[in-house]
Amino acid sequence: MKRTKKKIRKTEALINKSQRIRVTVLYVFAIVAFLGLGYRLFDLQVMRYDELSDKAIQRQTRDTTVTAQRGTIYDRQGRLLAMSASVYNVVIDPNKAMLNKEPVEDLAQGLADILGVPAEEILEKALKTDTNSQDLKKFVDADTEALVREFLLKPYKEEVVLEKGIEKIIGGKPQIKAYRYQSVSLQPTVKRFYTSGTLAAHIIGFVNSENKGAYGVEQTYNKELSGQDGKVISLTNGLGDEMLFNDYENYFAAVTGSDLVLTIDRNIQQYMEKYVAQAITRYGVAKGAAAIAVDPRTNEILAMVNYTANGVYDPNSPNDLPESLQIQLDAIKDEAQRNKAIKDAQEEMWKNRLITDGYEPGSVFKIITLAAALEEGVVDENTGFYCSGSYDVPGRPPVTCVTAHGQQTLAEAVAHSCNVSFVKMAQKIGAAKFYEYIRAFGLMERTGTDIGRDESGTWWADSVFCDPKNQSSFAATAFGQTFEITPMQMVTAAAAAIGGGKLYTPHAVLEVLSASGADIKGDSDFLVRQVISERTSQRVRALLEGVVATGSGKQAQVAGYKVGGKTGTAEKTKEQAGKPEGTPKEYIVSFYGFAPTDNPQIAILLLLDTPSANTGVQIYGGTMAAPIVGAMLADILPYMGVEPSYSERQLAALNVTVPRMSGETPDKAKSLAEAEGLIVNIIGNGETVVSQIPKAGEKLMPGSTVIIYTTENEDTQKKVTVPDVRGLTAAKARKKLEEAGLCASTQGGFLPTGSALVTYQSVSPGQTAYRGTIIGVSFGSDASSAVEVVKN
């Protein structure tokens, strides 16, 4: 019994022990597995946290770029030149439309009404199902955008559906499923608007398809203008919709770009463009014309005209070539060639030749020679020059003049633009010194202007230039040949010579206005160096005044203003070189003018590239370019508010005296009046003139109408209301007054020429006056009133 009991216990223990061990082993396995998975979790959650959470965030978020508004560009008076506006592109995903089985015909019809695009065109794009994106319309405004959105939100089909799966068996609630167009999206973007179209296109430049500035200040100041793009990071769910309880929106605000205030004056630019265009037609200029206006005291660019042979581009659509050229290029068969030709033509059109293309300045360069000679003191106003018509220089054929000028003073030599005298002048300076002056005037380096990347001139090396045995380049340089500089360099150097002797970097931006404040650069920021003294500069001005007053630039004279200048006619040797004998020579005629000479406020360089020889005008700077510059100055100077100072004779010409016509025959009276420059309006058919309006001896504007009566009348006793003629030009003011039965006479300061506008009338508008009363009007250049006219 005892034995059995022991046995049982032993067996029991054996079985339980084996089982316990097995349970323990299973538990150990489980624990090992738990530890392994714990480590796996540690690896995923702690070690690989950065990698995985980044990936998760990337999947969960959607970045939407908020394009920064590009800065606005103003002219120096605060007038708008370029601005950006938010617009939308309407885009369709044809593939999605196909997959969603959207009724594209209805879609096309619906959108056609809103967008104003033919439905067929939309349908055609919507059926390109192998693509994922087709632009239906670009740059639609916010109003259209709202309409499109409304259209897209409206369901095109509704359907009652039962819930699927198990709900269906248990009996789910019926739901209405609405189908909406999901293939069309509105993508926000910005568009640049250039409010003045082609005006000043080469200074402003344009914005390319990537919204980056190309050419002009748009390019130079791209960083400042473009600001900083912002973005919105928002969470989406796995289906791509906005996530519920989405408090994770991260908004990085866009920083609006800085605004630019240019030194450009839109009105001056407009005057200049008008006259350059006139010059092109009048002289048949073949290869484009260009002009720069700067303030010579600081070298601020006031205006810059660049009519290329390919025309002027509109920055609103910079890729469009002139129609005739486009047709011509489209005719090229080979596609690669055609594309290249179009690209070249566009680049030619966009290029600002005033800063990139070198030219031989010709006689205009004599300003620099003169300034250097005066500064060195090797000549003065009393120095005499003798010109026999030709002058031998070692190493080249003799320097010639058009005629033998004989014995001249310095002023006469300058006025005659006498090559011989200038070569002698340069020889007095000496080649090395002269070379130094050229360098000092900044002609051998880039000007560093901010309207684009400019080029430096092409010069002889100093060893060649200063070779005493071969003075060919040195001598020719004295009158502006055998080297090339850009027009911008010429203007900059000339501005230093006449504007006080200081060389400034030419610049087109006055202020950069950012949200944090204005960055206004002072003149000293642009100062390069003092080249000549203030006094010398004054002497140069006086001598150049003579050129316009008596010399080759006579045609640039402007009544009431002292204008200085220098003509230039340069033969294009480089282009000529490859051409066969007998082809007509090509010239660049130019004129450099500035006014007023005692304190120059504006300096203009005009270039006419290859004018026609068949216009009856001689191809000379003095005959072609000078009158154009004169006309420009006549408009611009009053606009700028430069006080005119008239001579007695000029003042006397302001008004004419009405002759006594009573008692004369009408024919006699008419001839008397026309002799004074008046127009006669005869009323009645009597034999003798009974009365006249206005009375004899009154002063009237030239071109006014005088009424003479051959029968008795009561007209002078009638009263009329005086109209408002302020802000009108002389001719318009006179016409308006005459229509009201009044007469006009000029009073006071300004000449009623060009752009001058009426600023004052002797009888206030709205008052009554007898018929024939003479209303005195005075002119000025009130800028604000001037704008009105220029806009027309």
User: Which residues of the chain form contacts with other proteins (CB under 8 A)?
Assistant: 7-8, 10-12, 14-16, 18-20, 22-24, 26-27, 30-31, 33-34, 36-38, 40-42, 44-46, 48-49, 51-53, 55-57, 59-60, 165-166, 169-170, 235, 237-239, 241-244
CB closer to other proteins out of 56 and 146: 56
> Distance between CA 470 and CA 485 in Å, rounded?
22
CB closer to other proteins out of 165 and 616: 165
Report phi then psi at 389, rounded to 5.
95, -20
Instruction: Kindly state the smallest distance separating residue 217's Cβ from other proteins, in Å.
Output: 43
Q: Report, in angstroms and rounded to the nearest whole number, the Rg of the chain calculated over CA atoms.
A: 40
Instruction: Kindly state the smallest distance separating residue 94's Cβ from other proteins, in Å.
Output: 16
Instruction: Kindly state the smallest distance separating residue 48's Cβ from other proteins, in Å.
Output: 6
Q: Establish how many alpha carbons lie within 13 A of residue 579's alpha carbon, considering only the half-sphere containing its beta carbon.
A: 11
Instruction: Kindly state the smallest distance separating residue 24's Cβ from other proteins, in Å.
Output: 7
Q: Are strands 602-609 and 527-530 parallel, antiparallel or unpaired?
A: unpaired
715 secondary structure, DSSP code: G
CB closer to other proteins out of 38 and 677: 38
Q: Establish how many alpha carbons lie within 13 A of residue 78's alpha carbon, considering only the half-sphere containing its beta carbon.
A: 2
Q: Which of 766, 781, 755, 752 is nearest to 722 (CA)?
A: 766
Instruction: Kindly state the smallest distance separating residue 260's Cβ from other proteins, in Å.
Output: 45
> Distance between CA 240 and CA 186 in Å, rounded?
17
Instruction: Kindly state the smallest distance separating residue 102's Cβ from other proteins, in Å.
Output: 21
Is the separation of the CB atoms in 544 and 566 below 8 Å?
A: yes
> Distance between CA 413 and CA 250 in Å, rounded?
74
> Distance between CA 587 and CA 619 in Å, rounded?
8
CB closer to other proteins out of 96 and 287: 96
Instruction: Kindly state the smallest distance separating residue 138's Cβ from other proteins, in Å.
Output: 28
Three-state SS at 3 = helix
CB closer to other proteins out of 15 and 464: 15
CB closer to other proteins out of 33 and 696: 33
284 secondary structure, DSSP code: T
CA distances from 293 to 187, 450, 509, 624 (A): 43, 15, 14, 18
Instruction: Kindly state the smallest distance separating residue 232's Cβ from other proteins, in Å.
Output: 17
Instruction: Kindly state the smallest distance separating residue 35's Cβ from other proteins, in Å.
Output: 9
236 secondary structure, DSSP code: B
∠ Cα 289 292 297 (to 5°): 165
> Distance between CA 745 and CA 734 in Å, rounded?
8
CB closer to other proteins out of 133 and 778: 133
CB closer to other proteins out of 52 and 162: 52
Instruction: Kindly state the smallest distance separating residue 294's Cβ from other proteins, in Å.
Output: 57
CB closer to other proteins out of 42 and 317: 42
CB closer to other proteins out of 169 and 336: 169
Three-state SS at 413 = helix
Q: Establish how many alpha carbons lie within 13 A of residue 578's alpha carbon, considering only the half-sphere containing its beta carbon.
A: 2
